[in-house]
Amino acid sequence: MQHLENSIHANAEQDRICRSWLTVVEELRAENALLIRLLAAALSRTVTHEFVETAEKYQARFLIVEEGLLLLRHEIGAVREWLREQRTTSIPYTFHELQRDVDKTEQDFVTLRAHFLQFAGMNQ
């Protein structure tokens, strides 16, 4: 009985961690969408060839970020489903891997955002 209670507690804690990762992912998605809108606004004001070329590179990066965030959300969801069903098969992604991926995604996004805001001439 004690083992079952420990298992339920561990699953609840792991699910809480997954939910916190999902919050980070959704916040990054919202901020990424905001940067895309800021890019569109900047393009409506500035039309130099060099600016447009750089803007296209940022647009591509923002799309890659969105794809990565959607994949990360899917992976976290797979772990949550695994936890809910209390499967005996191996976990689809380890918590260590997901924590590393969430942290790296967040760090990379902060860097991208800072560079973009500098490029777009906006104060951080």
pLDDT per residue over 30-71, tens digit each?
Answer: 999 999 999 999 998 877 899 999 999 999 999 999 999 999
Token digits for 97? Answer: 């891997």
On whether residue 20 sits in a domain, the answer given is yes
Q: What is the mean pLDDT of residues 100-123?
A: 93
The reported pLDDT for the residue numbered 85 is: 86
* Global confidence as pTM: 0.86
On whether residue 34 sits in a domain, the answer given is yes
The reported pLDDT for the residue numbered 4 is: 40
1: DSSP letter? -
On whether residue 28 sits in a domain, the answer given is yes
The total of structural domains in the chain comes to: 1
Buried residues in 16-46 as b, exposed as e (16+ CB within 10 A): ebbeebbebbeebbeebeebbebbeebeeee
The reported pLDDT for the residue numbered 8 is: 60
Q: What is the mean pLDDT of residues 67-95?
A: 90
On whether residue 93 sits in a domain, the answer given is yes
The reported pLDDT for the residue numbered 6 is: 45
At 89 the three-state DSSP class reads coil
Residue 124 has pLDDT above 70, yes or no: no
Q: What is the mean pLDDT of the chain?
A: 90
Range of the domain at 82: 2-119
